[in-house]
Structure 1
Amino acid sequence: MRIAVSGTHRAGKSTLIDELSDLLPAYVTVEEPYHQLEEEGYDFAAPPSVEDFEAQLARSIADLDEGPRDVLFDRCPVDFIGYLLAHEDRDAFDLDAWLPRVRNALRTLDLIVLVGIEQPDRIALSSSEDEALRLSVDEKMKELLLEDPYALGVVVLEVEGSSRARAKQVLEHLGSL
């Protein structure tokens, strides 16, 4: 199966992927586009610009086009759409131009696991983190994936609880297929 783990920053995605990697040893893990681009020398603005998020969106689409069969993706194109729609310069992002490519890429996924911010929040944030952006992206991601206003047509499993509980929910979902 091809599974993407999605959500805002500091929600527990990477921790869940680590847990799932241990439980699904035959699966390949694909690092999130930010880290891939950074390793290649891409210079991100601080905070990231619309162009930076579009570069990550393009890489995420390419990753889905090239990935193996049993794979865990850290993020998918919907993550970057969430960030772009929450960005202060969101008017510079042309979602309609990207949607055909995003829909085609998402068709290659069997499941998107949505890791949202829980109440109370399980993740402690440093004072330097932009909590408003994190909450806005979480809201956008839930809207995009659970309400599906752009007819993305993806199967979504929203998980909650500890990383072990989240992994168990994913495994139970996979077992039910």
Structure 2
Amino acid sequence: MRIAVTGTHRAGKSTLVDELSDLLPDHVTVDEPYHQMEEEGYAFAESPSVEDFEAQLTRSLANLDEGPGDVVFDRCPVDFIGYLLAHEDRDAFDLEAWLPRVRAALRKIDLIVLVGVEQPDRISLSATDDDGLRLAVDEKLKELLLEDPHAFEVEVLEVEGSPRARAKQVLAHLADASR
């Protein structure tokens, strides 16, 4: 089973990935592209540019091409589409050019777990967090995945609650799907 955990920044994705890693010990965990690239020396702008998000999108697509098996991905290509569509320079992003590659890559994912911003918000934000961007990306991701205007045609499970409750929702969904 190939699972991608998606959502805006500071929504609880990585915490859910950690929970799933404990509960699904047969699954390999793949860190999000930002951390992979940063570790390799990629220099991101303080406020990520369209080029930074496109580079992460490219890495996310490559991550999905790597080996078969049971994997939990921290982020998927749709995350970066969401960020690019919410970016102040979104007109510089050519969505149509990327859609065929994104659709093909998403066929390699069995389930996308969407971690949205909840009301009341479960995450404490620092003064440096851009809550406007965070909420705009959350809205874009829900539109992209739940309304599916670009025919991604991937199974999506939206989760809520505490990290453990979210993980239990994923496990229950997996158990139902295996029946």
- Contact 1:28–1:68 at 8 Å: present in 2 too? no
1:11 alignment counterpart? 11
Which residue does 1:30 correspond to in 2?
A: 30
* Number of the residue aligned with 1:43: 43
The alignment's C-alpha RMSD in Å is 0.5
Deviation at 1:67, TM superposition (A): 3.9
SS at 1:176 equivalent: helix
Q: Indicate conservation of the 8 Å contact 1:82/1:137, yes or no.
A: yes
Query: What is residue 126 of structure 2 aligned with on the other side?
Result: 126
Say which SS state the counterpart of residue 135 (structure 2) adopts. helix
- Report the counterpart of residue 72 of structure 1 in structure 2: 72
Task: Give ranges in structure 1 of 5+ residues lacking alignment.
Answer: none
Conserved? CA contact 1:5–1:112, under 8 Å: yes
Question: With structure 2 as the length reference, what TM-score do the two structures score?
Answer: 0.98
Task: Report the Cα distance in structure 1 between the residues aligned to 2:16 and 2:67, rounded to whole angstroms.
Answer: 19
Give the deviation of 1:68 after TM superposition: 3.2
User: What secondary structure is seen at the aligned counterpart in 1 of 2:118?
Assistant: coil
2:101 equivalent to 1:101? yes
SS of structure 1 residue aligned to 2:46:
coil
Q: Name the TM-score, length of structure 1 as normaliser.
A: 0.99
2:110 paired residue number = 110
1:98-153 CA distance string (max 9 Å, x none):
00000000000000000000000000000111000000000000000000000010
The AA in structure 1 aligned to 2:91 is D
The equivalent residue for 1:20 is 20
Number of positions where the alignment pairs a residue of Structure 1 with one of Structure 2: 177
In structure 2, the residue matched to 1:59 is 59
3-state SS in 2 of match to 1:122: coil
Percent identical: 80
Runs of 4+ aligned residues of structure 1 deviating over 4 Å after TM superposition are: none
C-alpha distance in 2, partners of 1:36/1:87?
A: 22
Q: Give the distance between the partners of 1:71 and 1:140, measured in 2 at CA.
A: 25
Q: 1:132 to 1:67 in 2, by over 3 A?
A: farther
Separation in structure 2 between the aligned mates of residue 67 and residue 147 of structure 1, nearest angstrom = 30
User: Gaps spanning 5+ residues in structure 2: where?
Assistant: none
